[in-house]
Amino acid sequence: MRGLMIGRFQPFHLGHLELAKIILRECDELIICITSLQFNYMEKDPFTAGERIQMIHESLKEEHFDLSKCYVLAIENQFNIATWASYLRSSLPKFDRVYSGNDYVRMLLSDSGLEVIKPNFLNREKYNATSIRKLISENSDWKQLVPKAVADNIIKFNGIQRIQTILTSDTKPTEY
């Protein structure tokens, strides 16, 4: 049985990592599906799909996951949300169970015959990508909230400066 977790992972944090561990305990294989493949260098989506794939892959590796049981993949967002479940199935290896605390995701998958599991997340106040991006932009105390491989790569990608530049630019990035 394959278990699926879905997110933008901007960035992948310790709450996500914890969920990945839970899924691999309960399923044979894990799929981590990164959404919004086509977006990057924007306020809510600072990192490219390639960067996010690399950060997650290396996080799993440093935590000694058996990578032969893991898929880390990225997909584009769909405008026609009613076709989203179908798009997921065409883009990913066959999956049987979805882990999501989001009622909206649950609704979209409700007709698909998939099992949707509500996970017990780590402290959601603390492990929250929006607030982590804010901490990164202020360069204050964010490294403890993400896997070491994520922190190292954000530094390597000039991620702090990138997020600051996006936030402070007087022209909105989408205008270019």
- Return residues touching a copy of itself (CB under 8 A): 6, 8, 35-42, 44, 48-51, 53-54, 57, 61, 66-68, 70-74, 76-87, 89-94, 102-105, 107-108, 161-162, 165-166, 168-171, 173-176
Token readout for 135 is: 């901490």
Report the residue number, 130 or 140, with the smaller CB distance to a copy of itself. 130
Report the residue number, 107 or 141, with the smaller CB distance to a copy of itself. 107
Beta bridge partners of 29: 2
Report the residue number, 6 or 145, with the smaller CB distance to a copy of itself. 6
Report the residue number, 74 or 145, with the smaller CB distance to a copy of itself. 74
Report in angstroms how near the CB of residue 107 gets to a copy of itself at its nearest: 5
Report in angstroms how near the CB of residue 113 gets to a copy of itself at its nearest: 10
Q: Is the separation of the CB atoms in 133 and 139 below 8 Å?
A: no
Report in angstroms how near the CB of residue 48 gets to a copy of itself at its nearest: 5
Burial 52-74 (b: 16+ CB within 10 A, else e): bbbbbbbbbeeeebeeeebebbb
Report in angstroms how near the CB of residue 49 gets to a copy of itself at its nearest: 5
Tell me which long-range contacts 38-43 makes (C-beta under 8 A, separation of at least 24): 38/76, 38/77, 39/77, 41/162, 41/166, 41/173, 42/166, 42/173, 42/174, 43/166, 43/167, 43/173
Report in angstroms how near the CB of residue 160 gets to a copy of itself at its nearest: 12
Question: How far is 137 from 139, CA to CA, in rounded Å?
Answer: 5
Report the residue number, 76 or 115, with the smaller CB distance to a copy of itself. 76
